[in-house]
Every structure is written in C-alpha cells, then in structure tokens.
C-alpha cells in the first residue's frame, strides 16, 4: 500500500473579529515596498465598508473586486494574472482571497499561475504544478465548501471542469472569522452549508473511508445537524461559528477520501447548464435516496425546516446532445464513482440510470 502524503494549511487563526489581525499577520511576508499584496474580494463587499474599511492598504497594495455570478474559469485566472503582472513593479508579496468558495479558489489559482508558465488550463489535473505559488491567504465569508482547507481549486476550462490539485494549492494562512458570514442570504447559506453536509455523507458512505477521514467526516456531519436542525436552540453567532468549523472538517474529510454521486452529477449540471455548485448539489442530492437513504432523509428535513424550494425540471428542455454531454461529464469522474460504489461501480450504474435521475431533477 502506498499512502498519500498530504500537505495541510500550516497556519490558521480562528475567532470572531480575528480579521482585524490580518495586517499584523501578513506584514512580515512583505518582500519589499514595490511588492504589493493583492486582495481578491467578492464584489458583494464593494459597498460594504464594514469589511473593506478594515483592509489596510500600504504602498502599491490593491483590491480587485471579483464578480461571482459565474463560477471561476481558467480564462478568468489568465486575465487576472496578466492584469496583476502588468500593473505591478515587482512580483507581488502575496494574494489574499476574501469571499466564498469561488473567490478562495481564484486566489489559490492566481497565486500558482503567477509563478508557473503558460495557460491555467494546462494545470487542471493532479500534480501538474512545478513551482510553489506565491504566499496566499484565504479568508472565507461563506461556510461550507471546504475550499479554505482543500488541496484543489475547482476551475471550468475550455473542455472540462476540473481542479488544479497540487501540493502548492493549499493556503499558507487561513483566517477563520465567523462574523464575516453574518450577512449571507438564507438560501445561499443553506446551499453552501449543504455542500458541507454532502461532503460528510459522501465521505462517510464511501468505500475510500479510513479512520482519518471518518473522524473529520463525523465531526462535519454532527455539526451540520446541530446547525441545520438546531434542536438545541443555538444563537445566530453559535451557528456561524459551528458551520465555519463544519466546513473545515468536511474539507479535511475529503482530503483522504473523495466525494461521491451528488458531486459527480452536479459537475454535469454545472458544465452544461452553469448551475452553481451549492444549489446543484442540493438539486441532485434530493433525488439520491437510493444511494444515501439516511443522508437524503435528513437533507429533506433540513430543507423543510428552512423553507427551501429547489428548482424543478431543470433538465426537461435539454437536447439529446446536451444530456449525453452531462452524462459523460458525470461518468468521467471515475474516482467519485469508485468511492461511492466500489471497484465494480461500472456494473452498478449505467448511462440510462443517470438519464432517468437527471430527468427527475
Ligand atoms: P460563491 O463563492 O460562489 O458565493 C455564492 C454567493 O454568495 C455569491 O453571490 C457571493 O457574492 C455571496 N456571498 C459570499 N459571501 C457573502 C457574505 N458574507 N455576505 C453576503 N453574500 C455573500 O459560493 P460557494 O458555494 O462558497 O462556492 C462555490 C464555489 O466553490 C464553486 O466554484 C465550487 O466549484 C467551489 N468549490 C471548491 C472546493 C475546493 O475544494 N476548492 C470545494 C467545493 C466547492
Ligand atoms: Zn462540494
């Protein structure tokens, strides 16, 4: 057996208001006055001085606001990297991502692409990155994806949606300040939170599970139940704190295992219809009782408790070609199916079954 040796985030700070310590944390990493820190910030914060006024800019430091209407693309990373190279006198001291999974992934990818040649799409895959990226810091403002802790950055390229999985991808520093999530709208809170719940179920029910993944998966699973079923009447602050830690544990759990069927099928939806990750996972998971009976039952309970209405019939208008493309994308994610259904997964799932599942969504 050849066990994988994973990198982890080497430094993390947790606490309400810990965002105020950012400048103290990063200042020793400044390489020179000509080497700025570049902040990639979700544009939802553009007019939110509560957050942006606390970013202290020195020398040539700058904020680039990022639209998250669509999920990150390899071409978007290329454009950002070019813009940064053209506008700075020296290679930046670091990249700081402030936002949900989309902005965190962009920050990781930009840090890598500032030190590696060629186009971003060439690095989609496993261990294709040659040089360490720039110092990069992740500051989540939305909890659930686990992007703050993972070894990948998920990008849509010209011919696939696939992460840059590498030892250089994880953040050098993460700031976990649950207060930053206080204004997330309820439906988005639910969708991204369910991403974490689904990570825990797919990891815990998968064949790749080991004790390392199980301990993290159990933690994420229990925290999500506390947060989303909230039978112990937690305060808003407590749910924010707990969901941020659930996200971390969910991410840690899949480091050593894998996600499963909901993610495979949701990648198909995303590629063909542009459905975003959180809501796409919810739409799919709602129909997977055959594979994850206990998890889906809990999911439906949570959905009801928070009055969440998922879109219906999103695949009804697809052409034959689009449906085939969707099935191919989903089926192509072999490790996800193998984790979910075992080595003989090809005998346990067919294109026909996938099509009938998609048509229910
Ligand atoms: P997101 O980053 O796309 O953000 C969703 C919405 O929430 C946006 O409109 C954003 O503006 C808004 N938002 C974020 N923080 C807010 C705040 N504090 N207040 C108000 N609004 C706020 O959503 P997400 O679900 O966090 O991330 C999805 C992305 O993460 C996808 O691209 C997916 O592929 C990726 N992902 C990556 C990993 C990984 O390991 N790298 C894992 C899972 C998902
Ligand atoms: Zn996910």
Domains and CATH numbers, the chain: 11-181 (3.40.50.1970), 186-359 (1.20.1090.10)
Residue 179 DSSP label? G
Q: For ligand 1, which residues put their CB under 6 angstroms from it?
A: 42, 44, 68, 71-72, 99-103, 105, 141-142, 145-147, 150, 152-154, 180-181, 183-184, 188, 192, 195, 276-278
Summary mean pLDDT of the chain: 96
Q: What is the pTM of this model?
A: 0.97
pLDDT for residue 62: 97
Across the range 69-86, mean pLDDT stands at 97
Residue nearest to atom 25 of ligand 1 (CA): 192
- pLDDT-derived band at 159 (thresholds 50, 70, 90) equals confident
Q: Could you give the CA distance from residue 256 to residue 31 in angstroms, rounded to a whole number?
A: 34
- pLDDT-derived band at 2 (thresholds 50, 70, 90) equals confident
Model confidence at 161: pLDDT above 90: no
CA of 59 to the centre of ligand 2 (A): 37
SS3 279: helix
Residue nearest to atom 24 of ligand 1 (CA): 101
pLDDT for residue 256: 86
**R_g of the chain, CA atoms, integer Å:** 20
pLDDT for residue 274: 94
pLDDT for residue 248: 98
Model confidence at 131: pLDDT above 90: yes
- Helices and strands (H and E) in the chain: how many: 14, 9
Model confidence at 175: pLDDT above 80: yes
SS3 166: coil
pLDDT for residue 357: 97
* Atom number in ligand 1 closest to CA 103: 2
Across the range 261-284, mean pLDDT stands at 96
Q: Which tokens go with 235?
A: 């305060």
Residue 307 DSSP label? T
CA of 342 to the centre of ligand 2 (A): 20
Model confidence at 5: pLDDT above 80: yes
Q: Could you give the CA distance from residue 103 to residue 268 in angstroms, rounded to a whole number?
A: 21
In tens, the pLDDT along 196-235 reads 999 999 999 999 999 999 999 999 999 999 999 987 789 9
Across the range 101-110, mean pLDDT stands at 98
pLDDT for residue 286: 98
pLDDT for residue 55: 97
Model confidence at 147: pLDDT above 90: yes
CB 16 within 8 Å of CB 237: yes
- pLDDT-derived band at 50 (thresholds 50, 70, 90) equals very high
Model confidence at 272: pLDDT above 80: yes
* Atom number in ligand 1 closest to CA 192: 25
Across the range 65-91, mean pLDDT stands at 97
Across the range 99-122, mean pLDDT stands at 98
């Amino acid at each position: 057996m050849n066990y994988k040796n994973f990198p982890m985030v080497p430094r993390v700070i947790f606490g309400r208001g810990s965002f105020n310590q950012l400048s103290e944390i990063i200042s020793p990493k400044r390489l020179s006055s000509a080497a700025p820190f570049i902040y990639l910030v979700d544009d939802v914060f553009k007019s939110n001085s509560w957050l942006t006024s606390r970013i202290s800019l020195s020398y040539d430091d700058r904020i680039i606001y990022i639209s998250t209407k669509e999920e990150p693309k390899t071409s978007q990373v290329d454009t950002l990297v070019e813009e940064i190279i053209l506008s700075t006198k020296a290679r930046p001291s670091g990249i700081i991502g402030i936002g949900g999974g989309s902005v965190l992934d962009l920050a990781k990818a930009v840090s890598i692409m500032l030190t590696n040649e060629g186009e971003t799409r060439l690095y989609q895959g496993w261990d294709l990155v040659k040089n360490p990226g720039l110092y990069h810091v992740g500051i989540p403002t939305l909890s659930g994806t686990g992007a703050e802790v993972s070894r990948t950055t998920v990008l849509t390229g010209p011919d696939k949606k696939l992460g840059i999985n590498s030892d250089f991808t994880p953040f050098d520093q993460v700031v976990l300040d649950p207060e930053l999530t206080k204004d997330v709208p309820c439906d988005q809170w639910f969708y991204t939170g369910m991403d974490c719940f689904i990570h825990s179920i797919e990891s815990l029910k998968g064949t790749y599970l080991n004790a390392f993944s199980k301990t993290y998966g159990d933690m994420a699973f229990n925290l999500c139940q506390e947060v989303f079923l909230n039978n112990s009447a937690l305060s808003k602050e407590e749910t924010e704190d707990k969901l941020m830690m659930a996200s971390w544990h969910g991410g840690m759990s899949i480091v050593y295992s894998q996600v499963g069927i909901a993610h495979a099928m949701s990648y198909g939806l995303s590629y063909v219809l542009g459905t975003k990750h959180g809501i796409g996972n919810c739409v799919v998971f709602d129909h997977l009782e055959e594979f994850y009976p206990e998890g889906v039952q809990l999911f439906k309970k949570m959905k009801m408790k928070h009055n969440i209405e998922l879109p219906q019939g999103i695949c009804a208008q697809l052409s034959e070609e689009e449906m085939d493309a969707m099935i191919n994308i989903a089926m192509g994610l072999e490790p996800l199916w193998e984790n979910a259904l075992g080595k003989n997964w090809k005998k346990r799932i067919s294109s026909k079954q996938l099509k009938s599942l998609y048509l229910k969504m």
